[in-house]
Structure 1
Amino acid sequence: MDHFHQSGDWTAIHNAVQLMEEVIKLTPDGHTKKAGQLSNLGSALFHRIEYLGELRDIENAILVTRQAVDLTPVDLTPDGCADKGARLTNLGNAFFLRFKYLGELGDIENAIPLYQEAVELTPDGYADKAAMLNNLGNSFSCRFECLGKLEDLENAILVKQQAVDLTPDGHATKAEQLNNLGDAFNSRFRHLGNLRDIENAILVSQQAVDLTPDGHADKAARLTSLGNALQNIENAILVNQQAVDLTPDGHADKAARLTNLGIAFQSRFEHLGKLEDLQNAILLKQQAVELTPDGYADKAAMLNNLGNSFSCRFKDLDIENAIFINQQAVDLTPDGHAHKQAFLNNLGGALQSRFRHFGELRDIENAILVRQQAVDLTPDDHADKAMLLNNLGRAFICRFQHLGKLEDMENAILMNQKAVDLTPDGHAHKAGLLNTLGAAFTLRFEHLGKIGDIMKATEALKQATENTSSRPFSRYQAAHLWAILCSKHQNPSTALNAYTVVLGIIPQVVWFGQTVHRRYEELLKIGRTINAAAAMAISVGDLSRAVEWLEEGRSIIWKQILQLRTPLDELRQQHPDLADELLRVSQALDKAGTSDFQDIDPEIKHKNAEEEAQNHHKLAAKYEELLQQVRELDGFGSFLRPKKFSELAPAAINGPVVIVNVAELRCDALVLCTSGEIVSVTLPTFSYKQAETLHLKLQSSLRAHGVRVDRDGDLATHLAEEANQDHFISILADLWSHIVQPILSKIEQVLYENADHFLPHITWCATGALAFLPLHAAGIYGSDNPMNIFDFTVSSYTTTLTAMLGSCSKPKRDPTVVRSVLIVSQPATPGQSPLPDVVKEVEAIQHYTSPDHTCHLTHEFATVGAVLGEMSKHEIIHLACHGIQDMKNPLSSAFLLYDGGLELNTLMRLSLENAELAILSACETATGHENLPEEAVHLAAGMLAIGYPSVIATMWSIRDSDTPLIADKVYANLLGHRDNSESQKAKLTPAYALHEAVKHLRKEVGEMNFVRWVPFIHFGV
């Protein structure tokens, strides 16, 4: 036994059991040592049980330890009391072990009084006192998990803390006792949500791991406990993986550790949404189920965990598997078992999920039935009662929405209110419970119209947003619904308060620690919230706040990327060390999550991707910590916070910027004037729905002209009969009549006061579906009184005001200085249709560029690496090649070069200081993603973000034969002919140069040939 205790070598225990059995056979009944020998045999059997998990060892252990207790009198001497206490403890251990394997509550009830008697009999100062307290604490923890009575958990922490305090540093059992205390703190945190408990759990669990040498048999178990305590999911996965790796196949705890690792992966899936994490969780939990023999107490729990993962993934087969597995867990669990209610609850969840997808009434009936059973089995003082009530309430709501019976709604509110009342403020689940209650009150208001329900709903939702320990998305959902209800049923100032909270939570939802792709997926959930917030601000006349909010909510990902590249000169002057650390972390975070693991072994790929994800999240946490430090310094309180209007106003220094906000409440234009004034233009005849309809009509018109339109599925059903019709004239007329003409009329004086002898310049910043429509071509065409925007103004677009600020602040370049130009051409890209007119396009450009200041990469020389290597060396880049807009993965949108695609994802890693203009003579370079209209996920936006202040791009596929003419006229107006001094003096800015070029193309192809001349647009300054 000593060898085993010192080394953790399990093979030593077999010999110990055999020797002790022989010794006991040789010792006559009545011998004074008989009781001690029986007790020692029980201890040896306990250790063998932990390794082999055989039930016969448990029964034998109970038998021999009971005999030992019966043979031991309570001696009045301290030593005699201690002996009796030790043997009572061993008998308690035997019952405890049987409970662990069979799950019968009676065994834990037998163990607790035995442990208590042992503690009371053992004098203070005896070496075993701490161990006895530790065992008593474990039994209290176990009963808490069964019955959910917080009194047991409090007692567990109390006696486990006593055990730790009684054990000197360096003692062999110190690590075990710390580990058990950590488990108890973690359990209390899970049920009460007190952050101090999780901090204590991590602290003592880490101490337990540190005290346990590598190779020790308990190392894996202690890593598992630490993994369960860590709120940082990355660390939890790491230490749980170590625990699994350290546990040999065949070990009795292998299945439990696989399950814990699976739970950690599922937790990360629920936070970050990576499907790969859920796949890993299912795989690990399946392995755990397969390793656990039928009849083991943990079998039902492992089946239950696996069923939950299948429900989470939900495919047709998954939900059937989930129901089948959860039903198995219920069937394997006898009535009266501590976990019965949890398994019933999860079965109800799977049934409810199937009902939502297939609509079978019997599923929701059964879901309510089993969830009601779960509630009925759970006493009010059980820590899980609130969650079970909340889930039953959700089931009632689900049936109410299907059948419309008011009784179901009343029951739902009753259950949800009780769940909220049972949950203390600050609990991690409180926001979710309040969300459900708020939604229930809202539903009842919609059916009965009682204003009191709206008051109750908004109060519940407001409380949910204030529970900062809850998940950001739960708080966002609450704030969003709160704002909507206030907008519809309460005063605007209350709605503005709610929207202020929404804006504050969004950065936590779209977190730096996620990959860029994942952040875009999170933005899909946020949708039109920003536009609704701005509309509410406009309705009360708070125009500067509306501008600030629209700016804060647009191109969120681009601004995050630009934020990481912000110069830190001012900070460095006053706090150089902090600036250097922030720069280091910013640069690392800028590159995080971008590695390519495509061509390596899958197992290594998974490991590398896992390590990179963990590093990414740690960098994000460190970055936020450093930002907070900077903002606490004098003079840096607003460091890298969203810009105020006073900081945004200079974006209009070169001409008015028109932000068109399209929301369901109302549509408006906000015109930022060069004076710093905001002019509001109400657009009463335009609507959000109309913008979507015009977008669909544009898609139809492009199809009619044979232009590829990358949409998932067909057009909306109400336009199905009009598919492939040409709506261009009506689209452009509607844009003119409902948007552009009212705006131009309102700002006519502002527009022309700085125009000199040129046409005035407008920069458009549109929201919603309007972001995909050609405002620059709006007009009345084909009539006796034509009226077109291009006769009154030159149009540009911008993704955000921030994108213009850096360029506006730069000193203007001397027009006589020769610009260096990088030309990238691909007339015959491998695997793509040829572009024969690209050769003519390049020749046209070369009429205006200096050979000494021009680099031309073409054919096999135009590789991704070569282009990336040259971009920083030239002020102007001209890309004449195929371009693609990837609708499913917008960051894979790319310029197609000789050896592959120069993707938006790759471009985002660049930061160019001397860049001036990018001309993207390719298809779909400013198309964007229809589900992310505020994000401008296209190649033109990418070029703006990496440092090009001015970009010429295309809204859809262009004709190859049109590009030489556009190139010729753009460069003629932009650079002037290199051999003509007069033309050198008449240079125009990119926006005006493109305006003139498109005018020539329009004359060439005909004004009514919209599909040819409309797609060419200018972004930036």
Structure 2
Amino acid sequence: MDLRQAWISLRDAERDGDEAAIARAAGVLSELPDDVAERRMLAEILGYAAGALIKLGPGHLDAAVALADRAVRLDPDAKLAMSLPIALALRSAATTRLADLDRSIAVGGRLSADEAMLAVATTAMRAARGGSLDELDAAIDVGRRTVAGLRRGAPARQVRAVSLGDALFARYLRTGDTAAFTEAVRVVREATSARDRDIRAYAMLRLGEFYLAGPTSLPGFMLLFQARQAERLSRPVRMLRVRALHLLGQVQRQRGDHRRAVAAFAEAAGLTDAEPVQRAVNARLWGDTAAEAGDHHEALAGYRAALDLLPWITSWRADRTDREHTLSAFVGLARDAAAVALQIGDPQAALVLLEQGRGLLLEQLMSPRARLDELERVAPRLAARLDTTIAAMNEPATVGEDLTGRARLVRDLDEVSAAIRGLDGFTRWGLPPLFADLEGVARDGPVVVVNVAASRCDALILTASGMTALRLTELTLADATAQAERLPDADNDVLREILAWLWRTTVGPVLGHSALRPLLDAPTPPRLWWVPTGRLALLPLHAAGDALDLVVPSIAPTVTALLHSRTRPAPAAEARMAVVVVDQVPGLPTLTGARRDARMLADRATRLDGLTVSGPEGYGVVHYACHAATDLGSPSESHLVLGPELRLSVTDLTRWHLRHAELAFLAACGTIRTSGALADEAVHIAGGFLTAGYGQVIATLWSVNDQLAHRVATHFYAGDPLDAARALHHAVTAIRRHPTYGEHPTAWAAYVHLGR
């Protein structure tokens, strides 16, 4: 098919509304060579085809970007060059991929003045993700001049007025500038009288959204009328429909009409051609609103719908930083779902929901790799393809990257996973866990999952005999949040108060429960794994009250992560050991204790002065003694300081795949610290070592004294480092019994064992 035939096919398909034919015609155009005689015409038609694909919805945005990108390369001045920045901006909204938004602004900024309003709209979107306020103000100035230069009532002015309103409202949200809010309402209201239905629908929608989130609102009945008008006008416009239903649901919920609000949110969540993020937001509101009304079964349906969408919105198509940003918008979703399941008396469902909705970034890396050795024995070619695909997908995204390659990798992973699930013994590969997959986790000792939700808090106690749910009536989400906020600056007095609170509300009731009593009567303290949720994961749960006298504690980010760590091959009795010591870095205090660690381990460990990109392969135990830095704003950038210019970040660690690693001892400060928003995702340095392949990690919750850290390491290595939980318990017990340090919990409560 030549260029003219492809063009005719595309126009005919558009006229007939045949979406499959539009996609086929666009596919034919994508395969035409660049060196056709009508190069300029090809650029225009590719831009047109990209616009046609944009209208088909989020599932076609990758192809739209590819066509529009090619059109701009063929002819940067093509009339339809606008398709590229529009497609990039829409794909950013669908995937939360920041690189797309940045590129949309860059490309849009090179377009003609007539189309400068695109830069205004995309800069407003960028402002919501921490973009420059100066750039936003400059975009607002451009918008004002553009709107002022157009005739009042003209469709071109009305479209641009809404974009200007978006930018002004973004300024209000960033700065609290009420004058910007007032101007945003004024300019957008002008477009609500537009003759064009689509313009009027979007203007009505934005005006309702402004009033809902702004400093002033309309009377309730007027806001409801606004929302209903937006919903009615948006029905033929698929990209607006989900937002209009969201607005209507919010207004109905605000008015106390929970039944109609639930219906609106549920309809929005069910729009399969809408962006997965927006669908998930509405599904969560469906659950929240039903829970408020006391309809727990309906709430559970909404929460399940939201959790089912999480894998789509944390897809590998987005960069890791973008996935973290997306997940931070769903803080507490799994915990709220579990609380509702417990409310209706289904603790098994509660556990499964917690595993489905927490630790998603960990699971993306740990699940495929957990049984890789076994897979290599059964299907070596599939194993090699899987390993190669994951390695390529975990490379960072770059501005300007063509995501068709990344989308192809996603399809490859789906195909490989489907093939693996066809093998005997691998039918659940890559799928959410069932309760039957989880209940055997307590074979080596009890596992206690502590769910902290706004409506209730509970402990799910798993033992070899089964699972028991314990309502924790003294524990609340508000108190857990408050105690976690006290921790970073806590002195010994404050830390004692936090530990006493943890014992009274959580640890004491759990360890006193009848399900654990027979185990605690054993002559030696048994192993016990805590799986704290939410901000409780930021607190020294393991060290509260008498806990260290009763059990040998470990922490696991999720039950699934603990199971994955146990599927790794057993370490060799004489595992090779390495030590990485960086005691001097310009601008940071000298670590004399780290230097002493190096001397202590000199006879049993290889000194590594640098690390390769793939990590210290071949060593079962690695001891790191160095500085660490926690980035609470971007936790994946938290890192170990391995030299003046060398940082080992969480992101770096996710690219490691160490096949025979067993223990990483992190003699550094705050290696298990992260932001409260990502506490359920274990996005911290210690979590990075788990994804790198280590079965066990020794980490710290806060800054520790350098000389004291050396004492802990000395006691630890007096035991068996491969039995790391007991070795650490021995070391911490020695510090607790020290005549000086024993009275100072800041000296010993920071140390945590993670893993099997």
2:547 is matched with which residue: 783, 789, 810?
A: 789
1:531 is matched with which residue: 335, 343, 361?
A: 335
Separation in 2, partners of 1:185, 1:329:
35
Separation in 1, partners of 2:624, 2:377:
40
1:951 is matched with which residue: 697, 702, 714?
A: 697
- For 2:250, the aligned partner's letter is A
Separation in 1, partners of 2:183, 2:637:
45
Using a 3 Å threshold, how does the CA distance of structure 1 residues 623 and 808 change in structure 2: closer, same or farther?
A: closer
- For 1:591, the aligned partner's letter is A
Q: Is the 8 A contact 1:431 1:470 kept in 2?
A: yes
2:224 is matched with which residue: 386, 395, 410?
A: 410
Using a 3 Å threshold, how does the CA distance of structure 1 residues 554 and 1011 change in structure 2: closer, same or farther?
A: same
- For 1:196, the aligned partner's letter is A
Using a 3 Å threshold, how does the CA distance of structure 1 residues 939 and 322 change in structure 2: closer, same or farther?
A: closer
1:589 alignment counterpart:
390
Q: Is the 8 A contact 1:310 1:321 kept in 2?
A: no
Separation in 2, partners of 1:455, 1:350:
34
SS in 1 for 2:516: helix
Separation in 2, partners of 1:837, 1:307:
54
Separation in 2, partners of 1:840, 1:355:
55
Separation in 2, partners of 1:176, 1:473:
38
1:1013 alignment counterpart:
748
Separation in 1, partners of 2:579, 2:381:
37
Give, in angstroms, the shift of residue 655 of structure 1: 0.7
Q: Is the 8 A contact 1:182 1:204 kept in 2?
A: no
Separation in 1, partners of 2:106, 2:147:
22
Q: Single out whichever of 325-334 and 483-492 deviates more from structure 2.
A: 325-334
Q: Is the 8 A contact 1:392 1:415 kept in 2?
A: no
2:82 pairs with 1:281? no
2:728 alignment counterpart:
994
1:823 is matched with which residue: 575, 579, 593?
A: 579
Give, in angstroms, the shift of residue 388 of structure 1: 4.0
Give, in angstroms, the shift of residue 664 of structure 1: 0.6
Give, in angstroms, the shift of residue 522 of structure 1: 1.2
Q: Is the 8 A contact 1:431 1:475 kept in 2?
A: yes
Separation in 2, partners of 1:385, 1:906:
48
Separation in 1, partners of 2:548, 2:34:
76
SS in 1 for 2:363: helix
1:443 alignment counterpart:
254
SS in 2 for 1:506: helix
- For 1:442, the aligned partner's letter is R
2:640 alignment counterpart:
895
SS in 2 for 1:616: helix
Q: Is the 8 A contact 2:389 2:412 kept in 1?
A: no
SS in 2 for 1:376: coil
Q: Is the 8 A contact 1:396 1:408 kept in 2?
A: no
1:645 alignment counterpart:
435
Larger radius of gyration: 1
Using a 3 Å threshold, how does the CA distance of structure 1 residues 794 and 627 change in structure 2: closer, same or farther?
A: closer
2:611 pairs with 1:864? yes
Q: Is the 8 A contact 1:514 1:617 kept in 2?
A: no
Q: Is the 8 A contact 2:290 2:299 kept in 1?
A: yes
- Map of 1:837-916 to 2, 5 A cutoff? 837-845=593-601, 851=603, 854-857=604-607, 862-865=609-612, 871-898=616-643, 900-916=646-662
Separation in 2, partners of 1:528, 1:317:
34
Give, in angstroms, the shift of residue 761 of structure 1: 2.1
Give, in angstroms, the shift of residue 834 of structure 1: 1.7
Give, in angstroms, the shift of residue 744 of structure 1: 1.1
Separation in 2, partners of 1:326, 1:936:
42
Using a 3 Å threshold, how does the CA distance of structure 1 residues 409 and 200 change in structure 2: closer, same or farther?
A: same
2:160 pairs with 1:343? yes
Separation in 1, partners of 2:578, 2:229:
67
Separation in 1, partners of 2:371, 2:496:
47
1:654 alignment counterpart:
444
Separation in 2, partners of 1:807, 1:585:
19
SS in 2 for 1:727: helix
2:537 alignment counterpart:
771
Separation in 2, partners of 1:807, 1:353:
44
Give, in angstroms, the shift of residue 767 of structure 1: 0.9
2:20 alignment counterpart:
196
2:202 alignment counterpart:
387
Q: Single out whichever of 500-509 and 612-621 deviates more from structure 2.
A: 612-621
Tell me the C-alpha RMSD between the 2 structures: 3.3
Separation in 2, partners of 1:840, 1:903:
25
Measured against aligned partners, the alpha-carbon deviations of 1:243-272 in whole angstroms (never above 9, x if no partner) come to: 233327xxxxx1635433322332333234
SS in 1 for 2:678: coil
SS in 1 for 2:680: coil
1:473 alignment counterpart:
277
SS in 1 for 2:641: strand
- Map of 1:675-824 to 2, 5 A cutoff? 675=465, 677-701=466-490, 704=491, 726-747=493-514, 750-753=516-519, 756-779=522-545, 788-809=546-567, 817-824=573-580
- Map of 1:152-171 to 2, 5 A cutoff? none
Measured against aligned partners, the alpha-carbon deviations of 1:472-507 in whole angstroms (never above 9, x if no partner) come to: 111011101110011110421111111110110111
- For 1:179, the aligned partner's letter is W
Q: Is the 8 A contact 1:698 1:728 kept in 2?
A: yes
Measured against aligned partners, the alpha-carbon deviations of 1:426-469 in whole angstroms (never above 9, x if no partner) come to: x3442222111111211222xxxxxxx21111111111111111
Whose relative contact order is higher, 1 or 2, with alpha carbons under 8 Å and at least 6 apart? 2
Using a 3 Å threshold, how does the CA distance of structure 1 residues 539 and 926 change in structure 2: closer, same or farther?
A: same
Separation in 2, partners of 1:537, 1:354:
41
- Map of 1:656-671 to 2, 5 A cutoff? 656-671=446-461
Using a 3 Å threshold, how does the CA distance of structure 1 residues 183 and 916 change in structure 2: closer, same or farther?
A: same
- Map of 1:243-282 to 2, 5 A cutoff? 243-247=71-75, 254=77, 256-282=79-105
The TM-score normalised by the length of structure 1 is 0.67
2:56 alignment counterpart:
none
1:618 alignment counterpart:
408
Using a 3 Å threshold, how does the CA distance of structure 1 residues 583 and 499 change in structure 2: closer, same or farther?
A: farther
SS in 1 for 2:274: coil
Kindly, what percent of the aligned residue pairs are identical? 26
Measured against aligned partners, the alpha-carbon deviations of 1:737-795 in whole angstroms (never above 9, x if no partner) come to: 11111111114x5353487421122111111111111112212xxxxxxxx22222221
Using a 3 Å threshold, how does the CA distance of structure 1 residues 348 and 964 change in structure 2: closer, same or farther?
A: closer
Separation in 2, partners of 1:635, 1:966:
43
Using a 3 Å threshold, how does the CA distance of structure 1 residues 335 and 877 change in structure 2: closer, same or farther?
A: closer
Q: Is the 8 A contact 1:390 1:419 kept in 2?
A: no
2:290 pairs with 1:486? yes
Separation in 2, partners of 1:409, 1:771:
41
2:362 pairs with 1:561? no
- Map of 1:617-636 to 2, 5 A cutoff? 617-627=407-417
Q: Is the 8 A contact 1:371 1:388 kept in 2?
A: yes
2:325 is matched with which residue: 501, 505, 521?
A: 521
- For 1:624, the aligned partner's letter is D
Separation in 1, partners of 2:134, 2:628:
39
Separation in 2, partners of 1:429, 1:586:
40
Give, in angstroms, the shift of residue 947 of structure 1: 2.5
Separation in 2, partners of 1:920, 1:695:
22
1:463 alignment counterpart:
267
SS in 2 for 1:651: helix
2:122 pairs with 1:306? no
Give, in angstroms, the shift of residue 303 of structure 1: 3.4
Q: Single out whichever of 836-845 and 564-573 deviates more from structure 2.
A: 564-573
Give, in angstroms, the shift of residue 613 of structure 1: 4.8
Using a 3 Å threshold, how does the CA distance of structure 1 residues 680 and 316 change in structure 2: closer, same or farther?
A: same
Separation in 1, partners of 2:676, 2:213:
31
Measured against aligned partners, the alpha-carbon deviations of 1:375-408 in whole angstroms (never above 9, x if no partner) come to: 43326xx455543443344355457x61452343
Using a 3 Å threshold, how does the CA distance of structure 1 residues 335 and 181 change in structure 2: closer, same or farther?
A: farther
SS in 1 for 2:253: helix
SS in 1 for 2:226: helix
Give, in angstroms, the shift of residue 805 of structure 1: 1.6
SS in 2 for 1:931: helix
